[in-house]
Amino acid sequence: MPELQLLRADHAPALLAFEQENRAFFATSVPDRGDAYFTDFDARLAALLAEQAAGVCHFHVLVDTDSNGEGEILGRFNLVDVADGSAELGFRMAEKATHRGLATATVGQICTLAATEYGLTTLRAAAALDNTASRTVLTRTGFVPTGEEILLSDRPGLGYVRSTTGEV
């Protein structure tokens, strides 16, 4: 059973493999990270871990561990720009892990962590209009459209919001 884990430095090889193996798949629904992301991966990961240590972001990976104890990353679930009780949620799943309910279950788990572990009361998210899968996950996990129309790398999208306290 896949397990949600807080991002650590030792996730680096599996995280890089996840990003490389799914790059073309991700580009169909979210902005591409660009070649520099892969070239500077180690420095970027170090910067993310520093942000996490400072408490301004909480980065998570969904890890499927095999019988040898080796872990393959199936997804990323991040809470960024943490301030004043709120954060922005971002997530992406490996192509082979889609259509199994994992994204919905894990976003639900992140929402619980946001409230219980991180003291957050409001989560924001955004999804491109043509990213039906992410918009469905957000809706199924209690996010509601804000009516805000946004651009995600020149792609039209919608903003979403969710209270972690049950208040709307």
At 30 the pLDDT is 79
Give the span between the Cα atoms of 27 and 116, in whole angstroms. Answer: 33
**pLDDT tens string 74-103:** 999 999 999 999 999 999 999 999 999 999
Q: Are 32 and 94 within 8 A, CB to CB? A: no
Average pLDDT over residues 56-66: 93
Give the span between the Cα atoms of 56 and 13, in whole angstroms. Answer: 24
Q: Where are the domains of the chain?
A: 3-163
Nearest to 111 by CA among 122, 100, 127: 122
Orientation angle between helical segments 12-21 and 41-53, nearest 10 degrees: 120
CATH class of the domain defined by 3-163: alpha beta
pLDDT confidence of 165, banded at 50, 70, 90?
confident
Contacts of residue 96, Cβ cutoff 8 Å, sequence gap at least 6: 74
| Entry pTM | 0.92
**pLDDT tens string 105-146:** 999 999 999 999 999 999 999 999 999 999 999 999 999 999
The 8-class DSSP code of residue 94 comes to -
**pLDDT tens string 18-56:** 999 999 999 888 778 889 999 999 999 999 999 999 999
At 68 the pLDDT is 60
